[in-house]
Every structure is written in structure tokens, then in C-alpha cells.
Structure 1
Amino acid sequence: MQHDTIYKKDGKAIIANHYDSYLSNFEYNIEQTTVKTNFGDTHVLVAGPPEGKPVIIFQGGNCINPMTLSWFLPLIKTYRIYAPDTIGHPGYSAQRRISAKDDSFAKWSTELMDHFSTERAAVVGPSYGAGIILRLATFSPERIACSVLVSPAGLRLGSKLKMVKDILFPLGMYQFTKSEKHLITLTDRMSDGLMKDQDRRIIGDVFNYVRLEQDMPKLTTKKELSNYHSPTLVIAGTKDVFFPESKVKKAAEEAIPNLTAFKTYEMGHFPSTDHLAEINEDILLFLKNHY
């Protein structure tokens, strides 16, 4: 059922408050603009030197764009960053859902690129954002100069039984009781016990005040990517309950024609601060060599 809004009760204001306070903590100057697309208005964060090569960062699902952007802040020194709020996810973009099973997100992405006069760009996406990139690679591969997929959706899922036990059960308990104990259990399993307090509070409010996107992006096949030849870096965590490295690596090697590098980290779905320092080194080196 399609709702007019993804928010429950006072959710829109609560999430907006988290969004704005997250942005205010960044040391970089972040511009905010709205782009009209055929799928709805899209709020975009723009940063970095105007003459820098363009890098589009797609946010993770069911979280807020500044949280995802905070993971990749070192890229802002060198590259012109465009970070759209995903339509139908928490943030300032239109609230109607669009499907990650067809070409909708690919068309949405190319409309954004056209708006910023970007013929080709490097693309970076964690989780659901990586699933969006794989849809773009399937339908408009020529628009991607190179891509970085972090803990990616869209390749292979982890054990459904483990997800029920580790995620859905404590999520249900938290939504029912609003107990901090269940939120800690849940976020510890998402982050291998290393989630920042600020992020934990935001995730808790998203779980309480947002109708969650429950559809994962389509699992991408080798055939779908037959025309996609851009250099691709995949980064995955061994303790990621959603997209574990053991399954993602096999699927990436089978499906992605130009899998330039695959990096494995001993991390959960949410990387720790220390992991992010290393991940950004990997990404900067990859972009230097392939972009």
C-alpha cells in the first residue's frame, strides 16, 4: 500500500532535526539544492571543489543522507560530491517510494546527472545505495566512470533465518517496548557493537517514526551487467548480517565483468570509525588509479 508519507506521527520533524544537526557538525561547506525529476523533487547535498571530478554518493536505506555522507568525507577534499536524498527514504526528497527492481532508480540517477551536466561520474554507494548503482549499471552503464560498492545490496542476501533472529526479532521488540536495551541489541548486531551513540539514536527514531522500506534492491545478474565494463571496487564485511562477505564476494566475482578489487573487512553492516579510515584510503587509491 502506497502512503502519502513515509513518516508516522511527528516523524518528519524529528528526522529533519537529526538531519540538520548532523550536517551542522561537518567541517566542510555543504550546499543544499533541490532538483525536479520525473519521480519527484530530490534534495541534493553538494560539496567539494567545483572543478573537481564528479562523484555521486547514494545513501544507505532507512537512514539519513548526512550519515552516509559522513562515512566518505575525505573524498570532499578532491572531488565534487553530489549526494542525493533517496526518494522514498528519510530526508528532504519526495516521499513516494520508487522501485529498485526495475529501471526507475537508473532513470532517476541519470536525470540528476543531467541536471548537474555530468555525462559520466564515479559512483559510491553503501548498502541500498550500492543496489541503486547496480540498477544504473544495468540500464545506463555508459554513465558510470567507475563504482565503489560498500556492504552492497543487490548482489546476494545473507541468511534469512539469521536476519530474523538478529534483526527482525529485536526490531519488533524495540518497536513494541521502546526499550533502550532492545535498540542496543539491534544496533550492536548491525555494527558489530561499534555504532556511534548519535547514529544509534537516529536509527532508533527511524525505526519508530518511519515506515521502513522493506523491499531490497533486485539481485543483479551477470546477464544484466553484460554491457557494464567500468572498474568496480567492492568492499564487504565478514560480520554483516544483511550482505555477508562470504556470499557477496562469490556473487560479485560471478556478476561484475570488471571487478577491479574486492576488499574484505572484519566489520558489521555499519563500519566503525577505524574501518572507515581504511575504507576511505582504499577508495581514494581506487579513484586515483581508475578515474
Structure 2
Amino acid sequence: MARPSAFKSEETRAAYYSLYDEAIRLSEVPVKESDVETSFGTTHVLTAGDSSKPPLVALHAMSTSSTMWLPLLPALTAVRHVWMLDTVGDVGKSTAKSVLSSPVRVVDWIDEVLDRLGVERAALVAASLGTWMATHYAMARPDRVERLALVGPAGIVSPQHLSWTLRAIVDVRVRGTPQTIEAFLDSHGPARTRQLMRTDPWRPIMQQLITGLAAFRRGLREPRPVHCNLGRLADSGVPVLVIIGRDETLHDGARMAERFRQGLPTAQVILVNDAGHFIFIDQQELVADEVRAFLAK
């Protein structure tokens, strides 16, 4: 088996962890860190909010770690007790010893984490690659998913633009310097978003993303966000919220929204102007308000 994903050196791991910890220090809502052991490795978990409130499990975008949810915590913790999972095999504080290379393995991993946390049933919120994972989990385990919020979904109903995929490979995997990675991330949004990415609280989160992408050795086969058959999810009765940026860089935003409406006729699908794939930064207040209202139902 290929070696688990890992940082390329102790120095790069320390730099990444420092940015991760800084993001937590800047959080408006207090956050607790813990580790959960599973057959896939050690899952790092961030927890926030009142434990008497209904549980919410958050799955992050690829390589962002759970810290991407920290700026949204005031809205999320207003209605939920929040568990944020660092995906094993991805950049973050989790450590992997087995692969999440298929939907079945993703489902098994989430099952194990929820079992260890003592969470029988929860709402899910997810971004980008996390939406693909959360969707597969909801289809496989509708009895454990109270409701499902998808923010800036990746794959699921349409493939990524070929031009985006090629640039990601060249700038992130082939060149892979902090400079080329930063330029690639800047291409995801307008000037206003680029400024927000360099301003607290997003600054350490985005610097952490850049550092992680440049310093992380990926030795595992990764889950790929490919087209899903939403029939099982539509039949399950799980309430679904989908928030998509009209200016998506990975997909055609309007076409994706229409495909979600067709595949999930009862879902609440919101197409947001002036927002791309980093919609949680582009339109943070709108996303926070819509997700909070959905989770409060």
C-alpha cells in the first residue's frame, strides 16, 4: 500500500500547525481540539458551541482543514453543537493509515467517527469536496442524517471544467510553489475576495491552505468528486440546502443549480450572484444566514 499522506518535513509541518493554531486563536467562538481513533487513522476534531443543542457535523473543502468553518461559527453555533472533522488523508491535523479512495470507505470513516463521538444522528454541512462526501453519506445513511447543507458543491451533478482541472494540476501539483498556488487560489474570486483572503480571520486559513498544498506529500489515492446518482437522496426524504455561486470556477454555476433542482425537486437551491467557488468567503454573511436558517428548522 502507498504510504499515508504526510508533510514533507518537520519544518513544514510545524509551519502549517502554527497557522492552524493561529486560525483557532482568532475564532470568535471558543474551539476545543480532540482526536478520534478509527481504522482509517486518527481524525482530528474541532468542537464548538453548546453541547445541549442538536449536533452538526462539518466536512471541509479539499485541503482547507476544519479551520475553514471558524469564521462561520457564530452563525452555526447559534443553533447547533458543531463537530468539524479534518479528513484523514488530506491536509490537516488528522493522520491516515488507510485510504478514503471510494464512497464506501468515506461512509465507513464517517460512521466510525460519529460512533466514537457518540453522535447517532446529525445535520451535515459541507463545502466543495466535502459536499461529495456528505452526499454519499446521506445517500448511504439517511437514518443518521437529519438534514444536509451543501456549500459550493464539487462534482455530484457535473464534472469540473477541464481548464480548471489542468490549471490545478500544473500550478498545484507540477509547479507546487507557494507563489503558483497562491496565484491559482486568487483566480477563484474577484479583487474583493482576494483582499479578504489576506485579511483576518481568513488570512491564516488561506495561508495554511497555501502552505499545506506546497508541503503535504500525498501518498494515498484520494476520493474524486464525480457525478452522483441523486435518486437515493431524493427518495430518502432528507432535507437538502444547496448554495452555488453564479460565477463558479469549477463548474457552470447556473447549469449546476438547474441539475440539482431536477435531481432533488424538494431541495432548496440558491444561486448567488457575485460569488464563485469560495462562496463562503465571497458572500460569507449570506451563506451564514442561509445555513443558519436551514439548520434551525
Structures share fold, TM-score greater than 0.5: yes
2:187 alignment partner in structure 1: 189
Identity of aligned residues (%): 21
Q: 1:52 to 1:102 in 2, by over 3 A?
A: same
Aligned pair partner of 2:237 in 229, 242, 248: 229
Q: Which has the higher contact order (CA 8 A, sep 6+)?
A: 2
Say whether residues 1:105 and 2:106 are aligned partners. Answer: yes
Contact 1:37–1:111 under 8 Å retained in 2? yes
What residue number does 2:210 align with? 204
Output aligned runs, 1:9-24, within 5 Å: 9-10=9-10, 11-24=12-25
SS of the residue 2:188 aligns to: helix
Aligned residue for 2:279, secondary structure, equals coil
Are 1:249 and 2:249 counterparts?
no
- Alpha carbons of structure 1 residues 118 and 42: separation in structure 2 relative to 1, 3 Å: same
**TM-aligned CA deviation for residue 147 of structure 1:** 0.7
Question: Structure 1 residues 47-56 or 222-231, which shifts more?
Answer: 222-231
Distance 1:266 1:130, change over 3 A: same
**Change over 3 Å in CA distance of 1:274–1:127 after alignment to 2:** closer
Please state how far the C-alpha of 1:207 moved relative to its aligned partner: 2.3
- 5+ long unaligned stretches in structure 1: none
The one-letter code matched in structure 2 to 1:187 is L
Q: Deviations over 1:215-248 (max 9, x none)?
A: 5234211344354221100001122222442232
Unaligned runs of 5+ in 2: none
Counterparts of residues 82-93 of structure 1 (less than 5 Å): 82-93=83-94
Instruction: Provide, for residues 73-103 of structure 1, a one-character-per-residue CA deviation record: whole Å limited to 9, x for no partner.
Output: 4212331001111111122212346335321
Written as runs of structure 1 = structure 2, the 5 A alignment for 1:1-291 is 2-10=2-10, 11-96=12-97, 98-99=99-100, 101-155=102-156, 156-165=158-167, 167-171=168-172, 175=176, 178=177, 180=179, 182-193=180-191, 194-195=193-194, 196-197=197-198, 198=203, 199-211=205-217, 215-225=223-233, 227-256=235-264, 258-271=266-279, 273=281, 275-289=283-297
Change (3 A) 1:246 1:101: farther
Tell me if structure 1 keeps the 8 A contact 2:27–2:70.
Answer: no
Farther-moved stretch of structure 1 (231-240 vs 8-17)? 8-17
User: Quick one: structure 1 residues 258 and 106, their matched pair in 2 at CA, closer, same or farther if it must change by over 3 Å?
Assistant: farther
Across the aligned residues of Structure 1 and Structure 2, the Cα RMSD in angstroms comes to: 2.5
Whether contact under 8 Å (2:38, 2:113) holds in the other structure is yes
TM-score in terms of structure 2 length: 0.85
Q: Normalized against structure 1, the TM-score is what?
A: 0.87
SS at match of 1:142: helix
> In structure 2, do the counterparts of structure 1 residues 145 and 187 end up closer, same or farther at CA, with 3 Å as the change threshold?
same
- How much does 1:259 deviate? 1.2
Give the total of aligned pairs: 285
Alignment CA distance shift 1:53-1:103 (3 Å): same
